[in-house]
Amino acid sequence: MACAVYTSVVGWYAALDLNSPIPLQWALVMWGATFGWIVSDVFNEWQHHVAARLYYEDIADGVCPDRGMQITSANGWKWYRRQGSPWRISSKRVRPQVHPVDAIARLQGRNPPPRK
């Protein structure tokens, strides 16, 4: 961001001195690159957040077989890719009815207690 601001200021004075818009165009290129970098970073963070949330929901529901030490971000990303990207996964998807004790046991790495 600082580089884009610096290029804008220097480009402005250079454009006035040279009577040419080219230095100012370089500043616009820097702003475009900065904006693109920020958008890309925000998208990647959002994608990892969605992947982690779906992974933990599926573990709690008993859909994903991972337990205990298998619950890692790498396995979460694999599960996310296997299920499809967020464009294909519905947030309103049908989820099984799970007892809260069972979900907590799965997230803690244990198998749920047997139900009568």
Asked whether residue 115 is assigned to any structural domain, the reply reads no
Asked whether residue 88 is assigned to any structural domain, the reply reads yes
- Confidence check: pLDDT of 87 > 70: no
Asked whether residue 37 is assigned to any structural domain, the reply reads yes
Average model confidence (pLDDT) across the chain: 82
- Percent of the chain residues past pLDDT 70, beyond the cut: 94
Asked whether residue 10 is assigned to any structural domain, the reply reads yes
- Per-residue pLDDT band for 17 (boundaries 50, 70, 90) equals confident
Measured on CA atoms in the order 63, 69, 72, 77, is the torsion positive or negative? negative
- Per-residue pLDDT band for 88 (boundaries 50, 70, 90) equals low
Asked whether residue 34 is assigned to any structural domain, the reply reads yes
| Amino acid 91: pLDDT | 65
Q: How many domains does the chain have?
A: 1
| pLDDT tens profile 28-62 | 888 888 899 999 999 989 888 888 888 888 888 88
Taking the C-alpha atoms of residue 114 and residue 116, their distance in angstroms, rounded to an integer, is 7
Give residue 29's domain range.
Answer: 2-107
Taking the C-alpha atoms of residue 14 and residue 23, their distance in angstroms, rounded to an integer, is 6
Asked whether residue 32 is assigned to any structural domain, the reply reads yes
- Identify the CA nearest to 36 among candidates 44, 25, 47: 44
Asked whether residue 42 is assigned to any structural domain, the reply reads yes
Give the type of residue at 100: P
Asked whether residue 116 is assigned to any structural domain, the reply reads no
